Structure 1
C-alpha cells in the first residue's frame, strides 16, 4: 500500500486491528456479524458494511481491513438466509446467481434486510449502553454506511429515508454512504431524490451484476441531488472486483476477468475451491496487495506485478504456495503459458483494488471526520492519480 500511495494516492493511518465474528439470532432469524476494531485511542467512528448476495460477514475483507486500519470500527452484517450457503441451499443450485439475484433484489427482501440491519444496530447500541467493554470504542454519533451488491441496495434505502427509520440512540444520523456494485435500478425515482447525505458510488459501468441492471450507471449518479456526490467508475473491471473479497486462485481469476460472469464465474461458486464459506481466510490484511501473488491453477503467477503495473523486483517464478522446485512440474504454469493480456489484467485489477481502498478511505475521512486533507485530495488530486484505470466525477 505504501508503494502505491507514495505515487500520489491518499495515505491514511495504519493501526493494528482485532476482529471477532458472531452469529446473532432474533425471531427465528440469524444475523452473521463481524466486528473489526482498530488500536487507535479514544472513541472511533463506525462504518457498517453490508456484503453482497451469497457472501458472509467476513467477505469484503480488502475494504474492511483498510478502513479499520485507518481508524474506523467496521461492523459487517449479513442475514444468514442470503449469506454464504444461500445460493446452494435456497436459490436453485450452487453457483447460479442469475435467477436468485433477481429474487434477492425484490422489495420484500429489501424490507427484510433493512429490518435486520436496524435490529443489529439496536443490539450494538444496547451493548454500548450496558457498558460492554468490547463496544466502548464505538462512537455511534459518527456512523457511515457501505455496501456491495445486495448490501448496496440496502444501504441506499437506509440513506434515502434516514428520518423515517427507527434508528436507536445514540445514532443521530448516518453521515455518509458508500455504494459499490449496486443494481442501477435502485437509484430510480424517489430513492435517488431523497439521498441528501454525501455519497460515493463505486462501479464499473457494466450491466453484469446479478440483479440484471441495465440502466446507465452515470445516469443513475446524475439523478442524485448535487452536493458531495462522487462517482468512481473502474475501467474494464468485473463486478466481482468491487466485492473486495480475495480468498483463492479461482476467485481471483473471476476478479481479473471481466467476462467471467458469462463464462466461468457461475461455476466458481460450486467448486470446492470457492471460499464463500470461509471468506475471511485471506491473509491480505495490511499488505493486501499480495493479491498479485495469488494462485493461478496450482499457485504459479506468470510474473509478479506491483500495484503500479510494473514488474516486481522479486522475479516471476513461484508464489509462496506453489510446488517446490522439481515437484509436479507438469501441473504448473509458467510465464510462457500465460498471455500478455492475462498479465496486464492481473496488474490492472491489483491497481484498481488499491484505487478503491484509497478513494473510499479518503471519502470516509472527508465526510465522517471532516478531514480537510482528505477533502482537498478528493477535489484536487484524485482525478489525475487514477490515470486511465478509472473515471472520477464529483458534484
Structure 2
C-alpha cells in the first residue's frame, strides 16, 4: 500500500503540468503549492494503482513530407506494456495533456502522443486566427477532410513506430499491440471516436488499429448527430464532460451536446463522468496553473514566446494549451483529482482486468466523487 500512496504523491506533483518551480526572491507565492496539496489530499482517498518510474522523449518526425509531433512517456522498463495513444486538442502540441499522460505512465502504461503540425499551436498564426475567425478555423479543422488527414497521419506514425521497434528500439518494442487504448481531448476525441467505429467505415479505411477501450475528454458530438452513431462503438468508453466544458471556438454549442455520446454508448463497462466545475481547459490537462506573471513576463504566453493576441482579442476563449487571453477560472482540485483517479481505475479495470479497480469503480467511486459531479 505504501508504494501505491507514493504513486499519487508523484502524480499530484505534476498537476502544475511541469511540477513546482521554486520562486525567486520577490516573486509572489506559487499557487501550485496549495493546489498540489489539495489534489494530493483528495487522491489519497481514491483508488490506489501501482507506481512506476517513467522516462520519455519529444520529437518531430517527418512523415510523408509532413511534420508530426510525437511524444513518448512510459514506465522505465523493458517489460511488455499496454499502449495508450493520446490525441491532443486543437491548438495543442503533442506534449499536451501532461497531467493525464504522466498519471497513466506511472500506472504502468506506455503513452504515445501524436499531433500533426497542421493542428498544433501554429494554428494561432494562421490568417483565420489573426483575423479572429475562430469559428471558420474550427469549421475547417473538424471537417471530414481534416479528420481523414489526422487518421492518415496517425497511421503513418504507427507504421513508423513498428518499423523502429523492428530495428531495435527497445522502448517501442515493449508495446503490447493487443492492449491498445485510444484517448483524446477535443478534436483528438473526434479522431478517437472515428477509430472506434462512430463514423462511416470509409472514413477510417486504411487505419490499422483496433482499440480495446476509449477515453474521451470533452467528447466531440457534431450538431445534429444521431444517437445511433455512437451506439456503434463496441468497446468500453470513459466519457468526461460537464457543465463548464465550453468550446473555446464556440463550435460545440453546449455540453449537453457532448453528453449525447456517453448516453448513447451501449457497451458494458462504459462510464460517463459529468463534472460540475471542470472547464474545457481543465479537461485538457495542459498548463492547468501558471506562475504569477512578473513584469518581464507580460505579453508572453505560457511557453515564454511572444503572444499573438491580435486574433484572440476578437473572441476565442482560453482553453487547454491555447495561447488565448487570461480569465479562465482556476481549476478545481477535486475535478482534477476525479479525472485522474477515475481514468486510471477505468484503465486498470478494462485493460489489466484488475478486480480492485473494478470494485472501486462499482462500489466506492460514486460516493468518493460526492458533490464534484455525477457518475453514470
Shift of the 371–276 alpha-carbon distance from structure 1 to 2, 3 Å rule, reads farther
3-state SS of 1:81 partner: helix
Distance of 2:235 and 2:304 partners within structure 1: 32
Partner of 2:58: 21
Q: After alignment, is 8-17 or 131-140 more displaced?
A: 131-140
Extract unaligned runs of 5+ from structure 2.
1-7, 10-39, 307-327
How far does residue 51 in structure 1 lie from its aligned partner after superposition? 0.3
The answer to whether the aligner puts 1:79 opposite 2:116 as a matched pair is yes
Match among 349, 357, 361 for residue 374 of structure 1: 357
The aligned length equals: 307
- Whether contact under 8 Å (2:277, 2:332) holds in the other structure is no
Shift of the 390–97 alpha-carbon distance from structure 1 to 2, 3 Å rule, reads farther
- Whether contact under 8 Å (2:86, 2:112) holds in the other structure is yes
Distance of 2:366 and 2:292 partners within structure 1: 29
3-state SS of 1:232 partner: strand
Distance of 2:245 and 2:285 partners within structure 1: 19
Shift of the 136–5 alpha-carbon distance from structure 1 to 2, 3 Å rule, reads farther
Match among 226, 242, 245 for residue 188 of structure 1: 226
The answer to whether the aligner puts 1:125 opposite 2:162 as a matched pair is yes
In the superposition, the TM-score normalised over structure 1's length comes to 0.71
The answer to whether the aligner puts 1:246 opposite 2:280 as a matched pair is no
3-state SS of 2:195 partner: helix
3-state SS of 1:62 partner: helix
Distance of 1:251 and 1:243 partners within structure 2: 21
Shift of the 220–63 alpha-carbon distance from structure 1 to 2, 3 Å rule, reads same
How far does residue 276 in structure 1 lie from its aligned partner after superposition? 9.1
Question: In angstroms, what is the RMSD of aligned CA positions?
Answer: 2.9
- Whether contact under 8 Å (1:146, 1:177) holds in the other structure is yes
Shift of the 112–6 alpha-carbon distance from structure 1 to 2, 3 Å rule, reads closer
Distance of 2:304 and 2:206 partners within structure 1: 32
C-alpha distance after superposition, 1:193-236 (max 9, x if no partner): 21010100011135621332335433332222241210111102
How far does residue 88 in structure 1 lie from its aligned partner after superposition? 2.0
- Whether contact under 8 Å (2:69, 2:94) holds in the other structure is yes
Kindly report which structure 2 residues correspond to 1:51-90, keeping only aligned pairs within 5 A, or say none. Answer: 51-90=88-127
Partner of 2:188: 151
How far does residue 190 in structure 1 lie from its aligned partner after superposition? 4.9
Q: After alignment, is 80-89 or 54-63 more displaced?
A: 80-89
- Whether contact under 8 Å (1:366, 1:374) holds in the other structure is yes
Shift of the 166–181 alpha-carbon distance from structure 1 to 2, 3 Å rule, reads same
- Whether contact under 8 Å (2:278, 2:332) holds in the other structure is yes
Distance of 2:160 and 2:340 partners within structure 1: 29
The answer to whether the aligner puts 1:272 opposite 2:309 as a matched pair is no
- Whether contact under 8 Å (1:87, 1:94) holds in the other structure is no
Distance of 2:92 and 2:158 partners within structure 1: 20
How far does residue 96 in structure 1 lie from its aligned partner after superposition? 6.7
How far does residue 357 in structure 1 lie from its aligned partner after superposition? 0.8
How far does residue 6 in structure 1 lie from its aligned partner after superposition? 6.0
- Whether contact under 8 Å (1:147, 1:154) holds in the other structure is yes
3-state SS of 2:176 partner: strand
Partner of 1:36: 73
- Whether contact under 8 Å (1:181, 1:242) holds in the other structure is yes
3-state SS of 2:59 partner: strand
Distance of 2:366 and 2:237 partners within structure 1: 17
- Whether contact under 8 Å (2:218, 2:245) holds in the other structure is no
Partner of 1:308: none
Partner of 1:264: none
The answer to whether the aligner puts 1:361 opposite 2:344 as a matched pair is yes
How far does residue 43 in structure 1 lie from its aligned partner after superposition? 0.7
The answer to whether the aligner puts 1:100 opposite 2:83 as a matched pair is no
Distance of 1:101 and 1:357 partners within structure 2: 28
Extract unaligned runs of 5+ from structure 1.
253-269, 279-341
Distance of 1:199 and 1:384 partners within structure 2: 21
Q: After alignment, is 129-138 or 365-374 more displaced?
A: 129-138
Distance of 1:94 and 1:354 partners within structure 2: 37
How far does residue 138 in structure 1 lie from its aligned partner after superposition? 1.5
